[in-house]
Amino acid sequence: MAKKRPQTKAKRPQLSDGEIPVVGAREPCPCGSGRRYKACHGRAAAQAVTELVHRPFEGLPSECDWVALRELVPAATVELTLKGGLPEGVPSITLATVLPMAWPALRREDGSVLLGLQNDTASGDISRDLADTLQQALAAKPGTPIQGRRAPADGPRLQDLLDPEGAFEPVVHSGFEFWVPDAENATPEVAASLERANAAAIPTVKLTGVDSAYWCETPEKNHLRWVMPHAEEQLLDALARLHAAGKSNLGEGTRLVGSFRAHGLTVPVWDLPSGVGAEEVEKPAAEFAERLATALATDVPLTADERRARGGLTNRQVTLS
């Protein structure tokens, strides 16, 4: 019998990591290793998708307000400023808490862009996902809603696209009429979405005397939710000192009831009597800010009463993200 000729394998072209396309997890990896994608280059891609960024808005102007609009405020908008200015044909870019039909973004007929903040994201880095959505919207045709997708693991983040010196000034709305310039001519789907969103919106007001504090009204009582930039352990110590001294409230009938954790920041929450509006809490909040600054500057060990107060505050923390 004739000998079989030795088989020679044609060499596959070598691809860099950035050139390797995404395929199904059980398919052969396009790099030619012979392994399944999930066990080869898909492993790094999966890790990039699932790895949680603890403070996704760190480094952006007004990080605390980004957190508030992501987690606490129903209806608000902010004008965004890009590095290098707006592209031709894009008159404005507006960040919005929520968009109709839960769209991640919308390129309006006039070329302006609306970017939704409260949508679910595909990875553990909200900033990268939002930046990818924004880039899609800037490249889309006017009148096009943007659909969500998995952002490239090496794509830019908001910190790469937005001007770090740009102002970030949230405008809180009573409803979502900002969705459509002419509500009377909205499509039935958008009109129905607008009606549902307005019915669910909790009345909310941003305080003017302190940063990133938001008053809201609920049927039983009102609340103040204040996103603070301080390190969590330091802030809890300071709040415990004030709580133990009876100085953590915002006036008669108010009470510091706990805090949220959200995107790496701490959000103390006060219960307010139903008759206390946003204007009435402005002065007490400013006075509390002064007391808190003094407590934050204190580094002596906590007393027994302060440790008990801290334990109570810690037990009443709720993690939002």
* Measured distance CA(321)–CA(69) in Å, rounded: 13
**pLDDT value of residue 14:** 55
Query: What mean pLDDT is reported for the chain?
Result: 89
Query: What is the pLDDT at residue 6?
Result: 45
pLDDT value for 273: 96
The conformational region for residue 163 under phi > 0 = left, psi -120 to 50 = alpha, else beta, is beta
pTM, two decimals, is 0.83
Quote the pLDDT of residue 25.
61
Give dist(CA 313, CA 16) in Å, integer: 51
pLDDT at 149 over 60: yes
Task: With a cut of 60, say whether residue 50 has pLDDT above it.
Answer: no
301 vs 49, residue with greater confidence:
301
Question: pLDDT at residue 12 above 90?
Answer: no
The stretch 14-27 carries a mean pLDDT of: 60
For residue 254, give both structure tokens: 């108010």
192 band by pLDDT with thresholds 50, 70 and 90: confident
User: Around Cβ 78, how many Cβ atoms within 10 Å?
Assistant: 22
Side by side, which strands form the sheet with 317-319?
204-206, 213-217, 222-226, 265-272, 255-262, 317-319
Q: Could you tell me the pLDDT band of residue 34, with boundaries at 50, 70 and 90? A: confident
Task: Please report which confidence band the pLDDT of residue 97 belongs to, taking 50, 70 and 90 as the band edges.
Answer: very high
Instruction: Please report which confidence band the pLDDT of residue 136 belongs to, taking 50, 70 and 90 as the band edges.
Output: very high
pLDDT at 112 exceeding the cut of 70: yes
**pLDDT at residue 4, as a whole number:** 45
| Per-residue pLDDT at 8 | 42
The pLDDT value given to residue 10: 41
State the Cα–Cα distance between residues 306 and 238, nearest whole angstrom: 9
Phi, psi at residue 39, to the nearest 5°? Answer: -95, 0
267-292 pLDDT, tens digit each: 999 999 999 999 999 999 999 999 99
Question: Averaged over 189-196, what is the pLDDT?
Answer: 86
Which pLDDT belongs to residue 219?
Answer: 87
pLDDT of 132 > 60? The answer is yes
Torsion sign across C-alpha atoms 122, 124, 126, 132 = negative
Statement: residue 234 has pLDDT above 90: yes
Q: Please give the pLDDT value at position 17.
A: 53
* Alpha-carbon separation of residue 311 from 80, 243, 259, 262, 294 (angstroms): 40, 11, 12, 19, 21
Q: Which residues pair with 267 in a beta bridge?
A: 260
pLDDT at 300 over 50: yes
- Which strand (E) or helix (H) includes residue 283? helix 278-296
